[in-house]
Amino acid sequence: MAEPRALVQPRAEAVLAAVGDHPGGRELLELARGGGEVSLVGGATRDLLLGRAPRELDVVVAADAALLAGELAARIGGASAAVTVHERFRTAVVEWDGGRVDVAERRAEDYRQPGALPEVRPGSVDDDLRRRDFTVNAIAVVLGGPRRGELHATEHALADLAAGQLRVLHERSFVDDPTRLLRLARYGSRLGFEPEPHTAELARDALAGDVLATVSQARIGAELRLTLTEPDPVAALAALGDLGALAALDPRLRLDGELARRALAMLPEDGRPEVLLLAVALLPLSLDARRDGASEISSLLDGLEFTAAEREAVLRTAVLAPPLVERLRDADRPSRLRDAAAATTVEGVALAGALAGERPPYGAAEAAHEWLRRWRHVRLAITGDDLLAAGVPAGPEIGRLLAATLSRRLDGELADGRDAELAAALEARA
């Protein structure tokens, strides 16, 4: 492999100017002026060279990432900026309400076995660029000192950036770190880049060799979470499917992009797109009548180290949405809509409406739309305390009376106001 090359180009000056406009960038440039080689690297450099806004800034230093991170945090906001240090990987993260900066020491990496976390040691600029996943992420710009504005790039990096293609840096890239397969799909979707032909061949060979089985499910789960937070998560998940990475987790996993977009369009602002999209991808498991879909979904998400709350939300969405379609069609009044939707999630109702394959104002899709946008927000003016004050003893009866009153409120059978609701609740006691 050819040596990475150092270039001084006008475009590096544009990167430096853009860094100052990014959260934490002005403080970072001030620190870099004080001496010591600090370089912007990775996705941040790539995005700024493309004229895009990076999600966060990534920098490398010759030594002591924790020291730079602490100084940066102090300049940004003192106690409001938190620093997390990962000594094993010689990295530190500065996070605050307005942004994030990742700091790493220049290092070289060795993979003792496929899929294992790398062994790291101090390295040169060249070593640090060579350890990265794709050439377009192996570009660095020096932020301060006598070499300020100097741009370093591996072979093919700038040409690949201009051509819009993703190329790995060596033949064993996907074998050493199989999570790069998921990043290939994720970056390709976000940037609109295509894999370079040989890289595409290496990816196919790696998947055929089941390399994802060599990496921990927790790391795959972390990459899947990142995929779900992409600007266009449907396209990102579809790219994983097209690559074959979803099928590598379970042969039945697939994403129906049209269904996903219909469901997202129905999801209200307080819904969780990541829960909904994961449920859409897992839908084939829940619909497999030959297997215990709920148990398999739970086991898969548990292996990927999703939290118990995340597993529960996805499970209730994927498993309960299909049978909800008919119940929504049969709901002839708002109170029955509430009864139908009670067992699942907001995301489950949106998915059921999308599964109906209709558009409002027809059938189950209309019912789902009306529940999500209108009826689920109806609340009683009275509470259990009002019933207790009226002489209803504490116990399950309180909940039953409130539910019965809410049904009448939803169905337009009560006049507005607390008095009408309290009278209806006490009447339901009889």
Residues 118 and 199 in one domain: no
Last residue of a domain, one of 218, 249, 280: 249
Helix 233-243, helix 257-266: angle, nearest 10: 160
Per-residue DSSP letter, 168:
B
pLDDT score of 182:
95
Q: Cβ distance 78 to 108 under 8 Å?
A: no
List pLDDT tens digits, range 251-295. Answer: 989 899 999 999 999 999 999 999 999 999 999 999 887 888 899
Where would I find the H helices in 332-395? 334-341, 346-355, 363-373, 384-389
User: Do 103 and 135 have their domain in common?
Assistant: yes
Same structural domain for residues 82 and 51? yes
Determine, yes or no, domain membership for 286.
Answer: no
Q: What are phi and psi of 425, to 5 degrees?
A: -65, -45
Structural domains of the chain, count: 3
Task: Tell me, yes or no, whether 404 and 421 share the same domain.
Answer: yes
Tell whether 113 and 224 lie within a shared domain: no
The answer to whether position 353 is within a domain reads no
Say whether both 12 and 152 belong to one domain: yes
CA distance 310 to 64: 37
Give Cβ neighbours of residue 49 (< 8 Å, ≥ 6 apart).
11, 15, 139, 161
Q: Are residues 14 and 131 in the same domain?
A: yes
Q: Which of the listed residues 249, 272, 287 is the one where a domain comes to its end?
A: 249
Q: Are 170 and 156 in contact (CB under 8 A)?
A: no
Position 7 scores a pLDDT of 42
Looking at the domain assignment, is residue 339 inside a domain? no
Whole-angstrom distance, CA of residue 316 vs CA of residue 293? 12
Residues 29 and 153 both lie in one domain = yes
pLDDT at 359: 55
Continuous H helices in 287-345? 293-303, 308-330, 334-341
Dihedral over alpha carbons 264, 269, 272, 278 (to 10 degrees): 0
Tally the C-alpha atoms within 13 A of residue 379's C-alpha that lie toward its C-beta. 5
**CATH number for position 233:** 1.10.110.30
Between helix 10-21 and helix 25-33 the angle, nearest 10°, is 120
Please tell me whether residues 179 and 157 are part of one structural domain: no
Same domain, 148 and 214: no
Does residue 295 fall inside a structural domain? no
DSSP string, 253-300: ----HHHHHHHHHHS-TTS-HHHHHHHHHHHHHHT-TTS-HHHHHHHH
Can you read off the two tokens belonging to residue 378?
């109806």
Could you tell me if residue 220 is inside a domain? Answer: yes
For residue 268, being part of any structural domain is answered with no
Calpha distance 138→5 (Å, rounded): 11
**pLDDT at residue 16, rounded to an integer:** 87
Specify burial of residue 152 (Cβ count, 10 A radius: 0-12, 13-18, 19+).
buried
Please indicate, yes or no, if residue 34 is contained in any of the structural domains. Answer: yes
Read off the tokens for 426.
Answer: 């006490």
Domain containing 392 equals 384-427
Cα separation, 327 vs 368, whole angstroms: 10
Verify that 44 and 113 share a domain, yes or no.
Answer: yes
**Can you give the pLDDT at residue 141?**
93
HSE-CB at 361 with a 13 A cutoff on CA atoms is: 1
Residues 57 and 134 in one domain: yes
Q: Which residues of the chain have pLDDT under 70?
A: 1-10, 35, 78-79, 358-362, 430
In a domain, 12, yes or no: yes
**101, 72 in Cβ contact below 8 A?**
yes
Name the phi and psi angles at 385, rounded to 5.
-65, -35
Q: Domain end: 129, 144, 163, which one?
A: 163
